[in-house]
């Protein structure tokens, strides 16, 4: 059974009083340990697909299965448990500005019910993986845009998620920082985490040579193993 399965999923939004499908009868299977680039022009539905998978929003039609569970049927009170298995980095800033990096990572672990005993070692481990171990006492405003993304990545992997959702994690970063992030992602994926990354970064997609799913108007226009940006089959 695939780890993730979208079965004829549609998600509608309103646009000037007209209902339109941001995700349109989409079916997609992803195996555990896969590395998937989600590409497509602005408005194609990439973020919406990730938000459906994160269970932030629910589809009007179809079913989404993750590890044998139909996630749109998970009762509200059990959703935090589900989210613990899903690491997430979104385009919007996620760190609390008045807390240090270490405190930010502590807060997210508490919210996920991690025992106090292991929080400090988890924090250091996650920061080490992204090369930010020495930054635990810094505040977010002291960090560059790239360092912020690295800390957000540490925050996303702190509970060893099975699946990592990334929305434009390299946007507005210089190439070197982008490559640092791609190398870390490669390593996280090599250790078994499934990665689904929405991106416009052509060069990263082309050099990484992983699965490329292309969305057009909420539908899958291409799905290529070891693909290149813009390759449809």
Ligand X SMILES: Nc1ncnc2c1ncn2[C@@H]1O[C@H](COP(=O)(O)OP(=O)(O)OP(=O)(O)O)[C@@H](O)[C@H]1O
Residues forming contacts to ligand X in the complex (CB under 6 A) are 13, 22, 40, 42-48, 198
Instruction: Indicate the residue among 123 and 199 with the shorter CB distance to ligand X.
Output: 199
- Contact between 190 and 159 (Cβ < 8 Å): no
> Taking the complex as a whole, how short is the minimal distance between the CB of residue 141 and ligand X, in angstroms?
26
d(CA 24, CA 112): 33
Comparing CB distances to ligand X, the nearer of 23 and 129 is 23
CA distance 158 to 89: 12
In angstroms, the CA 120 to CA 9 distance is 40
Provide the token pair at 114.
Answer: 């991690």
Contact 23, 72 (CB under 8 A): no
CB of 88 to ligand X, least distance (A): 14
Query: Which CB, 43 or 80, lies closer to ligand X?
Result: 43
Polymer length in residues for the chain: 233
Beta bridge partners of 87: 164
Longest dimension (CA), the chain: 52
Quote the least distance from Cβ 146 to ligand X, whole Å.
Answer: 20
Minimum CB distance to ligand X smaller for 32 or for 216: 216
The token duo for 128 is 């080490």
As measured in angstroms, the least distance from the Cβ of 21 to ligand X is 9
Specify whether the CB–CB gap between 163 and 88 falls below 8 A: no
Closer by beta carbon to ligand X, 24 or else 106 = 24
What's the closest the beta carbon of residue 217 comes to ligand X, in angstroms? 9
Contact (Cβ atoms closer than 8 angstroms) between residue 164 and residue 87: yes
Nearer to ligand X, 84 or 211 (CB): 211
- Cβ of residue 45: shortest distance to ligand X, in angstroms? 4
């Amino acid at each position: 059974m695939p780890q993730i399965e979208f079965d004829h999923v549609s998600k509608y939004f309103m646009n000037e009083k007209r209902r339109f499908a941001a995700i349109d009868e989409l079916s997609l299977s992803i195996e555990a340990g896969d590395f998937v680039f989600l590409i497509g022009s602005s408005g194609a539905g990439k973020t919406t697909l990730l938000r459906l998978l994160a269970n932030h929003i629910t589809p009007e039609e179809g079913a989404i299965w993750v590890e044998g569970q139909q996630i749109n049927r998970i009762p509200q009170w059990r959703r935090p448990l589900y989210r613990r298995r899903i690491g997430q980095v979104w385009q919007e800033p996620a760190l609390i500005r008045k807390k240090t990096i270490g405190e930010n990572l502590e807060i997210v672990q508490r919210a996920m019910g991690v025992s106090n005993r292991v929080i400090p070692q988890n924090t250091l481990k996650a920061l080490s993986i992204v090369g930010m171990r020495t930054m635990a006492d810094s505040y977010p405003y002291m960090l560059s845009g790239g360092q912020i993304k690295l800390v957000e990545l540490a925050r996303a992997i702190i509970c060893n998620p099975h699946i990592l959702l990334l929305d434009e994690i390299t946007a507005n970063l210089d190439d070197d920082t982008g490559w640092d992030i791609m190398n870390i992602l490669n390593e996280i994926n090599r250790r078994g985490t499934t990665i689904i990354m929405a991106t416009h970064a052509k060069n990263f997609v082309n050099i990484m040579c992983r699965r490329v799913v292309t969305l057009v108007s909420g539908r899958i226009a291409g799905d290529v193993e070891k693909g290149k940006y813009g390759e449809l089959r």
